Amino acid sequence: MARQDLSTLPRNLNPQQLPTHIAVIMDGNGRWATRQGLPRFVGHRQGAKSLKELLRCCKDWGISTLTAYAFSTENWRRPAEEVHFLMGLFEQLLRHELAEMRQEGVRISFIGDLSDLSPSLQREMHRSMRETAHNQAVRFNVAVNYGGRAELVNACRQLAEHVQQGTLMPSEINAAVFEQQLYTAGSSDPDLLIRTSGEMRLSNYLLWQMAYTELYFTDVLFPDFDRAALHQALLHYQGRERRFGKISREEAALLA
Ligand code: FPP
């Protein structure tokens, strides 16, 4: 099975300068449906199709990780029927898509506090993680019952416990040690965040991990986010100069 298929990469994108990790906030599903006079859940179903296409593009173009925000710790405040629908959709997708993910070399992981989810959904999640753990074509992280602040508080609590047990000195705590306590331990930070539907917020998503991430906001609603929309996002990304706190290349050349 081919790992990548760069033949579909638009010509004006530089294959050497693609992000290795994209994070996405899939916003606008509800509005997409409401605008067409359809119930909101239809938008979530359509959003799931966009997500599948986005994952396929990442795999084809050698973008090694996609991290999608499927359900935040705040999303429990939505109407009970919508929460129920979303939980059912996650479970259904996992059941229906697992075989294809295995075949396509997708390695799926869930980040967030899974313990609040129904036992049957947790079972499907653990099964899909177990059965795809050795896949290498593309990493697909799905944030469910995820909140960045909760993740950071949890990391602090775990470090405090290590200190209390005498297995860690406070002076040994640094960024690398801290990161080990996050859900994303061992994974690279996102290079690019895409948020759809015109909202320009981080909404408690990957707060630590996105310290140097390039942010891209588009008015496109997530169910309409297709290859062409991803192409636009990548063009913007390739137009950015990532400085990581350093001075610009142009200024550095002048000083040299
Ligand atoms: C935000 O749109 C979308 C969500 C809260 C759910 C997204 C979930 C999926 C697309 C399914 C993916 C599932 C798996 C397991 C990978 P919104 O409802 O906030 O839209 P609005 O802003 O228009 O109201």
Q: Which domain holds residue 28?
A: 19-148+188-255
The sheet with strand 192-195 has its strands ordered as 106-111, 138-146, 65-72, 21-25, 192-195, 214-217
Report if residue 159 sits inside a domain. no
**Closest Cα to atom 1 of ligand 1:** 27
**241 burial via Cβ count (<10 Å: 0-12, 13-18, 19+):** exposed
Extract the tokens encoding 32.
């997409």
Does any domain span residue 174?
no
Residue 239 lies in a domain: yes
Contact 15, 61 (CB under 8 A): yes
State how far the alpha carbon of 133 is from the alpha carbons of 17, 48, 108, 179, 188, in Å.
27, 22, 7, 21, 17
Q: Is residue 180 part of a domain?
A: no
HSE-up of residue 131 (Cα within 13 Å, Cβ side) = 16
27 as an active site residue: the answer is yes
Quote the CA–CA distance of 193 and 239 in Å, as a whole number. 15
Maximum distance among all Cα pairs of the chain, rounded to whole angstroms? 62
Q: Is residue 251 part of a domain?
A: yes
- Count of Cβ atoms closer than 10 Å to residue 224 Cβ: 17
Catalytic (active site) residue 75: yes
**CATH number of the structural domain spanning residue 128:** 3.40.1180.10
Q: 226, 153, 216: which is closest to 23 by C-alpha? A: 216
Q: Tell me, what's the pLDDT at 84?
A: 97
- Is 208 among the domain residues? yes
Q: Is residue 201 part of a domain?
A: yes
The total of structural domains in the chain comes to 1
Q: Does residue 74 fall inside a structural domain?
A: yes
Q: List the chain pLDDT tens, one digit each, 256 residues.
A: 457 888 899 999 999 999 999 999 999 999 999 999 999 999 999 999 999 999 999 999 999 999 999 999 999 999 999 999 999 999 999 999 999 999 999 999 999 999 999 999 999 999 999 999 999 999 999 999 999 999 999 999 999 999 999 999 999 999 999 999 999 999 999 999 999 999 999 999 999 999 999 999 999 999 999 999 999 999 999 998 877 888 888 888 888 8
Distance CA 17, CA 118 (A): 41
Q: How far apart are CA 181 and CA 156, in angstroms?
A: 8
Give the mutation target among 29, 109, 111, 124 for probing the ligand 1 site: most ligand atoms within 8 A of CB.
29
**Catalytic pick from 12, 75, 135, 204?**
75
Q: For 90-141, write each residue's pLDDT tens digit.
A: 999 999 999 999 999 999 999 999 999 999 999 999 999 999 999 999 999 9
Using the atom order of ligand 1, give the atom closest to the CA of residue 40.
Answer: 18
